[in-house]
Structure 1
Amino acid sequence: MNDKNISAQSVACADMPATTLPEEKRGLLGAFLLFMLPVLLDCVLQSLSGTISNIYIGHLLGAKDLAAASTFYPLLLVLVSCGVGLGTGASVLVGQKWGAGAFDQARTAVAAAISLSIVFGGAIAIFGQWGVIPMLWLFSVPTEIAGPAEAYCRIFLAGTPALVLLITVAITLRGAGDNIRPLAMMGVQILISIVATPVLIVSPLGVSGAAVTGIVGWIVSLVFVGCWLRVSQHPLAPCRAMMRELLPAPVVLRSVVRLGFPAMIEIATQGLAEVILVGRINSFGPDMTAAYGLFTQTLTYIEFPGMAVGITVSVLCSHAIGARQPGRARAVLRVGFIVGLMVTGLLASIVSFEPAWVSGLFTSDPQVMIIANHAFRAVMWSAVLLSLGGILGAAMRANGDTIPPMAIMLGCILMIELPAGYLFAKTYGAWGVWLGYTASFSSIFLASALYWLLIWRHRPLTPIG
């Protein structure tokens, strides 16, 4: 997005009336889709990056190596939570300050998030190496894939600082209304993955070559976007002022942590829940583990469009709240909810009605395909409800209300997903594991909708600080 256009949009937003007329709603839908589509493409490409690696691994190496790579997915969610949490906290501040035209304050929030990302990512990279073996034991990783899984995890953990920083930068740029540079960053990663992954995984590195490719892609993308911001003289470009602000003022640091920590805990809890469930899944053998890898990859194609809508809702709502336009912020949520229902509903229908075609993209192993097809039919429709609950939570966070979405997620995971997954697996065996997801996704939506209906929609929408 052109920087002058960003500034012009912010000024125009500040001059809009608080109420939203029917004509403005039609204009809002166009603006919503215009911002959402690059974000959606970014999310799809993000998932495609992992899909490309899994396709290469599954067809060039085999089901056991695919299972080895799949064991890292729950821990990846925990790592990503650090970047998403920090980025979310900063993004809310950046969005509101950007909507108000306070670009220097937006840069200060970004610098605080970057410094925290470096610290968290570095700590995980260092201390995570000691936790690989206990993690594999906790996951109940089958003996025949333990060696490749360990090597893959160690290399991936070493690149955590770049991953966390990459996620933080992308989210905060979107908070400033820039949906093009994050998309370009993902394009760079995809290009590197397509070219380098098949070369490295057939080398002595084996399945670990996919992890090396990922790290190279993250680093190159960060360098690329930093240079682009500098050349275009973007207000959030790396500069001496931002370098000084990497030691953030306590008030800024507290704001970023207060807004970002609940999101970090929320996503980390999802990852820890996956750790527990994947241990149960791995106990049913390598075929079940490989099917889990197909399931998680496919699920992202349902979740990411909903995430794109949620990101758009969060950014546009925070801009409207920063510009003191609560009516427009509520209209953004209404548009986002309808768009999210249509997009995720369509994709879930495709996967549910044609599961064999989807699983056949990843593997030709008939037993793995049978297990994956059952998972698709059991879970994918409820992923629509999960996405809608996430859209409601995105609007809440844009107003600085981060605790309720976190509490809803934690409650549903601890009281529904984990107990249900365990009981269904114990009662029905491997087929019952997937029902825990369905119960959890449905309850998250119901709890979010009730909170919005009874409490949040009656609250005032005011800028932070």
Structure 2
Amino acid sequence: MMKKTDGEKNKFSLWLLAWPIFIEQFLQFLLGSVDTLMVSKISDNAVAVVGFSNQLFNALMTLFATVASGAGIVIAQKIGSRKDEEARTVAIIAFKVTTWIGVFLSILLIAIPAPIATMLQMPEELLPLAKIYISIVGGGMILTAMMSVLGTAIRNTGNTKGPMMIAVGMNIVHIILNYCFIFGAFGFPQWGLTGVAISTVTSRLLATVVLFLMFLGTFERKMGMKDFSIFDRKLFKEILTIGWPLGVNSGSWVFSQLAIFSFLAILGSSELAARTYMSTLESFCFLLGFSLALAAQIQIAHLYGAGKIKEAYKAVYRVLAIGLPLVIVNAFILVLFGGNVLSLFTKDQEILTICASLLWMNLLLQPGKMINMALGNSLNAVGDTRYTMIVSLIFMWLIATGCSYLYGVHLGWGIIAIYACMIVDEYIRGVLSFVRWRGRKYLRMKETELERESTKFTESFASPSM
């Protein structure tokens, strides 16, 4: 038993959880940058369409993130408390529910891509490209849904290496197919943005198949097709109790970003393209920080389930001590070399001038993001998801979105004002999350629960001798 405990402890160590996530995210960033570079060879409008459409897809993903994210935390907690069979059942339920949501979204995006793009204020000159890209990539939302829940379930068992390898393979296939379809290489047709969309769906299909095969054997008892008829209302309620605030929280962020993209679209296609390029560069700044924050969520959920309250409380501070210096250094590197990198993507001087100012503002933005990621994920890991949801709903919409419109669009201060509002929002939510974590509300509740269970056990053990 001791060997199993030591092995499990190592499996859920911060470093062993974080480094595969980091490699996965880094390679996705690297290949994603190559992807953006390839799309920029089509046109800046194509880049703007991809950036805008991805915001739409991210917004819709929140509909199944409610189930996938909640299930991931419950799985880690169940494994921490040595209830592997329940963790397995949670994973099966989450997969089924998420898949059906993905089916609905795919049908919707295939049926009405143009009205959706128009409703979101996409510039008229981008609509023809948007209609094609949204219908093809959006039609594959079922694959995105399945990948999300499968990857989350596998990672929260402590296996972060498997999803890493699959994600790397998926992106390599995507880049190769992009090259073929954009440049007409190896006898492939030169289909431009349509080819990029087909490449995206094809690579995701292959990744989904491999993830599903890995998922079948990820728990102690291997899954068979008959197991997918399982449904436990009590466990599904646990998923939703943690998951629905996570879904609202995630949705709040994504829809606020989508609103901000629509504000940028009002300002013009140059601002929209600049934000898309900056989104790619910003990813570089917090790759390791994000990986540490996600690893901390898995670790803290496991420690919380195992009743190791003090270790769970201290874990977030280790992440901040490592993550904050990293994102600051990375953001400064981006200030020094970001202009040169951007010149590889576009020669439009207006876009480059906008990005030059945003690179300096990014130096302020990234530490706030790191604090939010680490503390927000830690609160979610112990089940305090309603608090993060409430904070997000208030400040994302009041500051990041409302003030962005007021100062950026209504008063005409432009994209600089919008970025400033995003920075203020990150720091306000970060400070509030820090105060909440210091209060240890859910950790104290867990300690009380463990004390009651210990008392009951002692009383039941002593009762026969009385």
Equivalences for residues 397-408 of structure 1 within 5 A? 397-408=380-391
Which deviations, in whole Å up to 9, do the C-alpha atoms of 1:142-175 show, x marking residues without a partner?
2222101111011111000110110111111111
Task: Give 1:184's aligned residue.
Answer: 165
Answer yes or no: is 1:371 the counterpart of 2:354.
yes
Answer yes or no: is 1:76 the counterpart of 2:70.
no
* Displacement of 1:234: 4.6
* Conservation of the 8 A alpha-carbon contact between 2:281 and 2:338: no
**Among 131, 143, 165, which residue is 2:124 paired with?**
143
Which deviations, in whole Å up to 9, do the C-alpha atoms of 1:75-115 show, x marking residues without a partner?
12213324443222111111112123322111101011101
Gaps of at least 5 residues in structure 1 are 1-6, 17-26
* Displacement of 1:356: 0.6
**Among 123, 133, 157, which residue is 1:152 paired with?**
133
Inter-partner Cα distance in structure 2 for 1:412 and 1:8? 47
**3-state SS of paired residue (1:72):** helix
Task: Give 2:212's aligned residue.
Answer: 226
Answer yes or no: is 1:109 the counterpart of 2:90.
yes
Inter-partner Cα distance in structure 1 for 2:3 and 2:343? 45
Task: Give 1:11's aligned residue.
Answer: 5
**Among 32, 45, 50, which residue is 2:14 paired with?**
32
**3-state SS of paired residue (2:446):** coil
Inter-partner Cα distance in structure 2 for 1:260 and 1:306? 23
Task: Give 1:213's aligned residue.
Answer: 199
**Among 421, 431, 436, which residue is 2:421 paired with?**
436
Task: Give 2:142's aligned residue.
Answer: 161
Answer yes or no: is 1:120 the counterpart of 2:114.
no
Which moves more between the two structures, 446-455 or 187-196?
Answer: 446-455
- Residues 35 and 322 of structure 1: CA distance in aligned 2, closer, same or farther (over 3 Å): same
Inter-partner Cα distance in structure 2 for 1:399 and 1:321? 6
- Residues 243 and 450 of structure 1: CA distance in aligned 2, closer, same or farther (over 3 Å): same
* Conservation of the 8 A alpha-carbon contact between 2:70 and 2:243: yes
Task: Give 2:25's aligned residue.
Answer: 43
Task: Give 1:24's aligned residue.
Answer: none
Task: Give 1:4's aligned residue.
Answer: none
* Displacement of 1:352: 2.9
* Conservation of the 8 A alpha-carbon contact between 1:409 and 1:444: yes
Inter-partner Cα distance in structure 2 for 1:162 and 1:382? 32
- Residues 178 and 456 of structure 1: CA distance in aligned 2, closer, same or farther (over 3 Å): same
Which moves more between the two structures, 191-200 or 359-368?
Answer: 359-368
Kindly provide the amino acid, as one letter, of the partner of residue 80 in structure 2: G
* Conservation of the 8 A alpha-carbon contact between 1:405 and 1:448: yes
Inter-partner Cα distance in structure 2 for 1:348 and 1:10? 41
Kindly provide the amino acid, as one letter, of the partner of residue 71 in structure 1: F
Equivalences for residues 320-359 of structure 1 within 5 A? 320-359=303-342
Inter-partner Cα distance in structure 2 for 1:126 and 1:256? 26
Larger radius of gyration: 2
Equivalences for residues 249-260 of structure 1 within 5 A? 249-260=232-243
- Residues 325 and 170 of structure 1: CA distance in aligned 2, closer, same or farther (over 3 Å): same
Greater helix share, 1 or 2?
A: 2
Inter-partner Cα distance in structure 2 for 1:237 and 1:350? 46
Inter-partner Cα distance in structure 1 for 2:5 and 2:57? 39
Which deviations, in whole Å up to 9, do the C-alpha atoms of 1:332-369 show, x marking residues without a partner?
22212212212222222222343312322422322211
Inter-partner Cα distance in structure 1 for 2:53 and 2:284? 19
Give the TM-score taking structure 1 as reference length.
0.88
Inter-partner Cα distance in structure 1 for 2:285 and 2:174? 22
* Displacement of 1:239: 1.8
* Conservation of the 8 A alpha-carbon contact between 2:23 and 2:164: yes
**3-state SS of paired residue (2:33):** helix
Inter-partner Cα distance in structure 2 for 1:9 and 1:299? 42
* Displacement of 1:219: 1.6
Inter-partner Cα distance in structure 2 for 1:254 and 1:321? 19
- Residues 8 and 70 of structure 1: CA distance in aligned 2, closer, same or farther (over 3 Å): farther
- Residues 236 and 171 of structure 1: CA distance in aligned 2, closer, same or farther (over 3 Å): farther
Kindly provide the amino acid, as one letter, of the partner of residue 377 in structure 2: A
Taking only aligned residues, the RMSD between alpha carbons, in angstroms, comes to: 2.6
Which moves more between the two structures, 61-70 or 453-462?
Answer: 453-462
Inter-partner Cα distance in structure 1 for 2:422 and 2:26? 22
**Among 296, 301, 317, which residue is 2:284 paired with?**
301
* Conservation of the 8 A alpha-carbon contact between 1:349 and 1:381: no
Which deviations, in whole Å up to 9, do the C-alpha atoms of 1:227-256 show, x marking residues without a partner?
3455x67537542453222xx211111111
Seq. identity, %: 16
Tell me which of the two structures has the higher relative contact order, counting C-alpha pairs closer than 8 angstroms and 6 or more residues apart. 1
Kindly provide the amino acid, as one letter, of the partner of residue 347 in structure 1: N
**Among 304, 315, 318, which residue is 2:301 paired with?**
318
Task: Give 1:22's aligned residue.
Answer: none
* Conservation of the 8 A alpha-carbon contact between 1:10 and 1:100: no
Inter-partner Cα distance in structure 1 for 2:356 and 2:116? 28
Kindly provide the amino acid, as one letter, of the partner of residue 176 in structure 2: V
* Conservation of the 8 A alpha-carbon contact between 1:10 and 1:101: no
* Displacement of 1:13: 7.2
**3-state SS of paired residue (1:101):** coil
**Among 69, 76, 86, which residue is 2:67 paired with?**
86
Equivalences for residues 406-425 of structure 1 within 5 A? 406-425=389-408
Which deviations, in whole Å up to 9, do the C-alpha atoms of 1:164-198 show, x marking residues without a partner?
11011111111100011110111111111121012
* Conservation of the 8 A alpha-carbon contact between 2:63 and 2:247: yes
Inter-partner Cα distance in structure 2 for 1:366 and 1:81? 36
**3-state SS of paired residue (1:194):** helix
* Conservation of the 8 A alpha-carbon contact between 1:152 and 1:211: yes
- Residues 234 and 305 of structure 1: CA distance in aligned 2, closer, same or farther (over 3 Å): same
Give the TM-score taking structure 2 as reference length.
0.88
**3-state SS of paired residue (2:267):** coil
Kindly provide the amino acid, as one letter, of the partner of residue 335 in structure 1: R
Kindly provide the amino acid, as one letter, of the partner of residue 39 in structure 2: I
Inter-partner Cα distance in structure 1 for 2:417 and 2:399? 14
